[in-house]
Amino acid sequence: MRRKNEYDATKLTQVATNKSVMSVYVDAFPIEQVKLRFAEFEDAKNTIDIYLSFEDVLRIVQDIKSSKIFKDMQSSQYPIQISFGGSVKDGKVESRSITFGMQNNKIYINAQKGPGKTTNTGAIILDGQPTKKVSVGMSIDDFKGVFLYTEAGINAYLPTLVGQLVETAEKNRKKMQNN
């Protein structure tokens, strides 16, 4: 993918239809997250950012490689929940979720967000109806490609992360020895 402008500067890959796009960004890698941005071309305000942990992405890739995720999608009449969560800003709770579904050998990745509430365990769940929804349909090969490419990006980044962790541990060890 050619990086044409500032918008593309941190984009790793994407899948697009004539109506919507799901882009994968690396700018959340330092917090061990992958940012997925869902957007509709007709309504530029209908944009949803979903953050998946490295572990979640690698689990999805493992399920792709074993075909488990395809079997799960085929055996369910509803999309399978991949991630849900959200954030609290200025006292307002926002819920975000991502699901995968399959219909006629086409995979749909669905993102939604809306008002949320915090459960007594600290989880954030949707409170009412979502205010934004974006669905991106793609072939099975495109689905595999976007997640395998994202896995490659994570694997390329991990030596940097581990190097930083080791360096920090070494500094802390020396600091403890000096005290």
The CATH number of 6-173 is: 2.30.31
Domain map (residue ranges) of the chain: 6-173
What gap in Å lies between CA 168 and CA 17, rounded to an integer? 44
Q: Residue 7: its pLDDT value, please?
A: 61
**pLDDT tens-digit map of 55-75:** 999 999 999 999 999 999 998
pTM of the predicted structure, to 2 decimals: 0.84
Q: Which carries the bigger pLDDT value, residue 2 or residue 28?
A: 28
Q: How many CB atoms lie within 10 A of CB 162?
A: 10
**pLDDT tens-digit map of 102-111:** 998 899 999 9
What gap in Å lies between CA 117 and CA 86, rounded to an integer? 9
What gap in Å lies between CA 119 and CA 86, rounded to an integer? 12
Tokens (6 digits) for 122: 């600290």
**Residues 42, 100, 127: CA angle, nearest 5 degrees:** 75
Q: Specify the DSSP class assigned to residue 77.
A: S
